[in-house]
Amino acid sequence: MEKLSRGRSSAKKQKEIEILGLENGIKPPQAVDIEEAVLGALMLEPDAVADVLDLLTADCFYKESNRKIFSAISSLARNHAPVDIYTVANELQKEGDLEAIGGASYLSELSLKIGAAAHLDYHTKILLQKFIQRELISISIGMQKEALDDTISVDDLLDNSQQKIFNLADKNMRRETQPVQDVINEAVDDLQKAQLRSDGLSGIPSGYTGIDSCTLGWQASDLIIIAARPSMGKTAFVLTMARNMAVDYKIPVAFFSLEMSSKQLVKRLMISETGLGAEKIKGGSKMSQDDWNTLNERLAGLAASPLYIDSTPSLSIYEFRSKARRLVATQGVKLIIIDYLQLMVGPPELRGMREQEVSAISRSLKAIAKELDVPIIALSQLSRAVETRGGAKRPQLSDLRESGAIEQDADIVMFIHRPEYYGTLEDPSQAGLAEIIIAKHRNGAVCDVQMKFRNSEVRFVDITDTSLDNIGDYMQFTESRANSQPDFGAEIEEQWQ
């Protein structure tokens, strides 16, 4: 567990908890005898001080005199001074607290109450548990006060409450240092599992052959940013990908849409799944009986797929975290998609400071991906610099909008570029071709992947798809790729040796 920091003043929170306990006839959570045993052990076992200081603060002690003693021990340890009964008494004397804690006689009493030194770790955990219980009581008292204050909006109230709970939970997570041998064993286990896979991937398949060949699948705990200018097909790209994973591979996927409603997303899926066309699915033209039969037949797989859609508008990062945790725990979700990052709401204290807010959202998404051990794919807008750039108008990392932290936090940054949109397509026979530019790949090769965008079906398909309108496009692509990048395949293979 990481070191727990101070919130409001200990004395004020302690008083509130005691009053609440008296009103309900219940003693606040405490273990004074354990506190005394821990302090006695620290003064007699100096080698244990460093370990305990990584876990406890003075606030973790319920009794005020014990808090003062632990503060003195902490001060000595930070100054690399020896810790024993005499040095602690001297430190308390300098702070004017020696008499307040009961004098040197109390310190001597503590030394007699020490248990087995081997139990110190267990005793420390008990103190942490009691402290967390008291913190939860304090948070609930604060929530009650804020809930009675009509000047605080309900949205801010929910955000503040969730943030306090999440912060407490984060601080209660113990992250152990591991010997390299243990980590190697885990990595070898992952490698053995990957060798047993027939698709040659080590992560979650996207359903796009070209992208999977470059990324080897989406890797657990990665943050993937997919960025493009408006109307490039960002939503169509990830929605088709979500469909591929959920329908073809039966992989549970969560899709958080902050821009479109659930019904709009599903209608897009219905268009691409059935091939009936937008005018029919949206009700612009009549459906024949054959159309209805096609609709029912082709939607069966989609309806039974583990795809979960959340269209909460202005979703806060705290609410997203709560929902993502629940989906991973209850539905076994293996991948999360967010459409799109700039529509999320960051911490309340950063509102009005857009760059810092987006940076906080980006950092939080990476932390959540690591915590839940699932890939998170977040769409992002690009700045207008792409439009003013000459030539092919290919996007680059500096075009990421509103915060450089997005580029820094992401494990993979991908751009969607369609030359046809800008009128820079030299060969008319290549209409619909799109470039997926992997501009940053923390654990692999960067590359460009050619795909095809079918505007009538609102979806992207592999350029190797035999149902493409012009199969010659693929032949032309492979020939040009072989001529321009003869070592492309070898480069990817070398990255993963």
Determine the 3-state secondary structure of 88 from DSSP: helix
Three-state DSSP string of 422-436 = HCCCCCHHHCCEEEE
Q: Beta-carbon neighbour count of residue 113 at 10 Å?
A: 15
Show Cβ contacts of residue 243 under 8 Å, excluding neighbours closer than 6 positions: 207, 269, 272, 273, 302, 305, 307
d(CA 74, CA 50): 9
Contacts 24+ apart (CB under 8 A), 138-144: 138/7, 138/8, 138/13, 138/16, 138/17, 139/164, 139/165, 139/168, 141/16, 141/17, 141/20, 142/8
User: Strand 223-228 and strand 376-381: pairing?
Assistant: parallel
Contacts 24+ apart (CB under 8 A), 391-395: 391/424, 392/419, 392/422, 392/424, 393/417, 393/422, 393/424, 394/435, 394/437, 395/227, 395/228, 395/229, 395/437, 395/439
CB 470 within 8 A of CB 429: yes
Residue of 259, 371, 435, 491 marked catalytic: 259
d(CA 12, CA 212): 56
Determine the 3-state secondary structure of 302 from DSSP: helix
d(CA 400, CA 152): 34
Q: Beta-carbon neighbour count of residue 26 at 10 Å?
A: 10
CB 258 within 8 A of CB 342: no
Q: Which of 28, 168, 53 is nearest to 120 (CA)?
A: 53
Structure tokens at 325: 């945790």
Task: Please indicate whether residue 279 is annotated as part of the active site.
Answer: no
**In 54-153, which ranges are continuous DSSP H helix?**
64-78, 85-95, 103-112, 120-147
Q: Which of 228, 177, 259 is nearest to 422 (CA)?
A: 228
Q: Which of 351, 320, 313, 350 is nearest to 337 (CA)?
A: 320
Residues catalogued as catalytic: 259
